[in-house]
A and B are shown apart, each in its own frame.
Chain A
Amino acid sequence: MSLSFLLLAVAALCALSFYFGRQRAVALSGGRYSNLHSLPAHYGTYVALWCGLPALLLLFVWHTFQGSVIEAMIIADLPAEITSDSGQLSLALNSISLIAAGNGQHLTVSPEVVDAGRRLANLQSIANAALIVVMLCGAVIGVSLSYRKISPELRARNNVERISRWVMIACSAIAILSTVGIVFSLLFEALHFFSKINPLEFLFGLEWSPQTAIRADQVASEGAFGAIPLFVGTLLITVIAMCVAVPVGLFSAIYMGEYASPKFRAVAKPALEILAGVPTVVYGFFAALTVAPFLRNNGAILGLDVSSESALAAGLVMGVMIIPFVSSLSDDVMSQVPKSLRDGSYGLGATKSETIRHVIFPAALPGIVGAVLLAVSRAIGETMIVVMAAGLAANMTVNPLQAVTTVTVQIVTLLVGDQEFDSAKTLSAFALGLVLFLVTLGLNVFALKVVQKYREKYD
């Protein structure tokens, strides 16, 4: 029983309830709708809502918990020697789910696991069947209760509107929920990580090599989780990107806003916006396959040793990506400088560039600082370009010709492929994610405040 089929079934039930609810209201009205408090369609909607909402709510709750509950049940039945070791447990759970899906023929596992696999398949089919029954029950109860309530006096419209209001509030609350979700999922795993690794060592350690032993018998280093090299790498690439994006973006905005003819603007502005719409993976490809080789070859001519994955390539391309962001934000900001200031400057005989440099730019500076901070936060959080062009080596260097790694690159590397939610290696990604989230959040909040204050000043 697939999810989409269930949803379709609920939708069909809702349509039916709407029809019957409406019919009943029409019948009760005795042909004159003015006898009813609300329009017949409101009665139909009223019943349909009572049909669909409980069913969907149940579906959502069920799906949220089904997996964890069944897993807990399976684990409870497994012998202690498997459950005591977390590595073995996750391996066993993996096999169990394979067996349950009918793909476990080639596995050589203990009979308990095979049994558990069968049980899992069993439980899953029971759960799915139960879900359908529960949803149907919810829908039927909702429909019958609401259907019986229909009477000419029932304030169906008000009821429907009240419900829709709550639905709307719930939709708005999703914004809060996702922030809470982000904070909790990051915090939960990060705390897990910090119980294994000292937070101070993480924040101030100078060595990063998370490749710990996956299997216990492997002889491998302990793994070092000092994130400073990542922060340095991130910062280095961000600085390079800003060196490209800020002057180019700012001057583009100035030229567009102050000098360009409408015709020129009509062509150049959308062209700049295209730069903003190009997916980051495309920039990554461009950085790795066009810019990096170009830099390496030209570096060789100049006698410079540019590594094939250099901070410079990633930073330059990231800068290009951020140009339209800086230019449109600073364009906004500068166009908000009141015309009277321009007039004052022109009235004194200042040229355009003098007016821009001495009057408009200083007046817009707070807003521009805000825009640049937003751009910095973008650069810090950018992932694909650095993943594809910056490299993995956690070098502690500020030489832009060398390969560095960044916070986002490490998150991707640590989480693509095998994930072990009990090893510091996997968990460290969440700790990095938490740092990334907090830093970008801080930058954004601060930048938005600066920009807002600036706007208020000239409103």
Chain B
Amino acid sequence: MAAVSQSAMTAEPSVASPKMTARDLNLFYSDNQALFDVNLDIVERQVTALIGPSGCGKSTFLRCMNRMNDTIDGVTINGKVTLDGRDIYDKRIDVVQLRARIGMVFQKPNPFPKSIYDNVAYGPRIHGLVNSRDELDEIVMTSLERAGLLKEVKDRLQSPATGLSGGQQQRLCIARAVAVSPEVILMDEPCSALDPIATAKVEELIDELRSNYTIVIVTHSMQQAARVSQRTAFFHLGKLVEVGETDQIFTNPKDDRTKGYITGRFG
């Protein structure tokens, strides 16, 4: 609780040694500003949940953290995002490498139209992380195991990934992200397309992964945020309203807007 800022606006969301930070981050889609002076620290080996009503900029913010917004035309960003203290928007930073270090899992499961094995092997292959087939096999197996999928698919690694169920596909996407040994995993509403049982499995998985990875998750569901995260940040109209320990945000929010959202008065 001590680390939590008391300020109502976006001031001082800082923690002792953050894995990632955002400082005065503004983002424009051509002329529309979508993010306003966002300041946020991400704590290592914790799950940080980004919550807020639709269109509040939480997904946009997430996509800034591994420069996925680079692929969209007409986006301008100013401010600073750092990973281990280095600005990721620095010209010298290689975006390809950056995205390998900061993995991403998307809203809808998006397995490539390849075999299960090839999906997981894709990252290690393109990044040249392995020297032999055995090594690759090991990475694929470990990643699938980490994603809790190995038992279900170990007999059909060569069958197409599109044949898996939605929940399995999403865990495959997590395995795919894990396979390149990222330091941070960004998850953009990873359970929004899944049924409750598959959701439960993915949430379990997130909890497991926390011991090795720093995780940032955007979620629509406050229950999910409460279940899986240690820290929660509330976004509203492109601004970061409040950030703090999850318990504190849900039991004792400082800002009226946070309170209103959490108690269901808008959203």
Contacts and interface: CB of A to CB of B under 8 A. Distances in A.
Decide if A and B touch, CB cutoff 8 A.
Answer: yes
A343 B106 contact: yes
Given A348-B176, A349-B97, A341 B126 contact: no
B122 A358 contact: yes
A346 interface: yes
B68 interface: yes
A354 B126 contact: yes
B177 A351 contact: no
A341 to B, nearest CB: 6
A358 B126 contact: yes
A348 B186 CA distance: 11
Contacts of B103: 347-348
A342 interface: yes
A contacts with B: majority SS: helix
A323 B18 CA distance: 54
A236 interface: no
B124 to A, nearest CB: 10
Given A342-B71, A354-B126, A347 B112 contact: no
B173 interface: yes
B126 A348 contact: yes
Contacts of B68: 343, 346-347
A348 B121 CA distance: 11
A377 to B, nearest CB: 26
Interface string B179-197: 0100000000000000000
Chain A interface category by residue count:
10 to 19
A350 interface: yes
A348 B100 contact: yes
Contact of B110 (A338, A351, A362): A338
B79 interface: no
Contacts of A354: 126
A359 interface: yes
Nearest to A337: B113
Most chain A beta carbons < 10 A, residue from B106, B112, B176, B180 = B112
A439 to B, nearest CB: 31
Given A341-B112, A358-B122, A363-B113, A347 B106 contact: yes
B112 A359 contact: yes
B97 A363 contact: no
B110 A350 contact: no
Contacts of A343: 68, 71, 104, 106, 110
A340 B100 contact: no
A351 B98 CA distance: 12
Contacts of A359: 112
Contacts of B114: 362
Contact of B177 (A341, A348, A358): A348
A338 to B, nearest CB: 7
Contacts of A279: none
Interface in B108-157: 108, 110-114, 122-123, 126-127
Given A338-B110, A363-B113, A347 B66 contact: yes
Interface of A: 338, 340-351, 354, 358-359, 362-363
Given A348-B126, A349-B100, A350-B126, 16 more contacts: A340-B110, A341-B110, A341-B112, A344-B106, A344-B110, A344-B112, A344-B176, A347-B68, A347-B106, A348-B176, A348-B180, A350-B123, A351-B126, A358-B122, A359-B112, A362-B112
